[in-house]
C-alpha cells in the first residue's frame, strides 16, 4: 500500500462539504492486492470466490478503497458484504467514513476529534496490515 493521501474536506452525497479546521485526515491508498489479501485473511476458502464476485458488484469511485471499507465493515460475514456493496453503490462515502474513521465520524464537533482521527487511522492501519 502506497503512502496515504491527506485531505481537509469530505464531501457527502448531499453535496454538503465539511471542512476540518483541526487538521488533516489520512486517506488510504488501496490496491487490488490489498483487497485480495484481506479476503484471504477474513473469509473461509469456500467463501472467497463469492466475496470477490460481490465486491466486483461495486461500480463506483475508488473501488479498491471502497472494497476494503466493505470488508472491514463486514467482519468476515458474506451477507454483510452483500449488504455493504449495495449500500456503497448508493453512497460510497458513508461506507468509507464509518470504516476508516468510526470514532471521528460520530461527532465532528467534539474537541477530541483530532485525537479520534489519529486513533481511527491507527486502528485502520492495524486492521489492514494484520496477518
Q: List, for residues 56-115, the tens digit of each pLDDT value.
A: 999 999 999 999 999 999 999 999 999 999 999 999 999 998 999 888 777 656 666 778
Q: How many domains does the chain have?
A: 1
Q: Are 40 and 49 in contact (CB under 8 A)?
A: no
pLDDT at 20: 44
Is residue 13 in a domain? no
Closest to 98 (Cα-Cα) out of 81, 78, 122, 73: 73
pLDDT at 15 over 50: no
**Averaged pLDDT for residues 40-51:** 98
Q: Is the pTM of this model over 0.85?
A: no
Is residue 7 in a domain? no
Which cell is 34 given? Answer: 490489498
Is residue 118 in a domain? yes
Distance CA 98, CA 69 (A): 8
Contacts of 124 (CB under 8 A, 6+ apart): 28, 72, 99, 100, 101
Tell me the CB-side half-sphere exposure of residue 100, using CA atoms within 13 A.
19
Q: Are 92 and 66 in contact (CB under 8 A)?
A: yes
pLDDT at 25: 73
The more confidently predicted of residues 130 and 19 is 130
The overall average pLDDT reported for the chain is: 83
Domain range for 52 is: 31-129
Is residue 61 in a domain? yes
Is residue 18 in a domain? no
* Phi, psi values for residue 6, rounded to 5°: -125, 140
Contacts of 30 (CB under 8 A, 6+ apart): 1, 62, 64, 65, 67, 68
Is residue 65 in a domain? yes
* Phi, psi values for residue 19, rounded to 5°: -90, 150
Is residue 125 in a domain? yes
Amino acid at each position: 500500500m502506497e503512502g496515504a493521501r491527506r485531505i481537509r474536506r469530505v464531501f457527502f452525497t448531499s453535496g454538503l462539504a465539511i471542512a476540518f479546521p483541526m487538521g488533516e485526515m489520512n486517506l488510504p491508498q488501496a490496491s487490488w492486492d490489498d483487497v485480495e489479501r484481506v479476503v484471504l485473511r477474513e473469509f473461509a476458502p469456500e467463501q472467497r470466490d463469492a466475496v470477490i464476485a460481490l465486491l466486483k458488484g461495486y461500480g463506483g469511485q475508488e473501488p479498491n478503497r471502497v472494497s476494503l471499507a466493505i470488508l472491514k465493515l463486514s467482519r468476515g460475514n458474506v451477507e454483510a458484504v452483500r449488504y455493504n456493496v449495495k449500500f456503497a453503490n448508493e453512497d460510497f462515502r458513508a461506507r468509507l467514513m464509518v470504516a476508516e474513521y468510526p470514532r471521528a465520524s460520530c461527532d465532528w464537533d467534539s474537541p477530541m476529534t483530532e485525537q479520534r482521527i489519529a486513533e481511527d487511522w491507527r486502528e485502520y492501519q492495524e486492521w489492514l496490515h494484520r496477518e
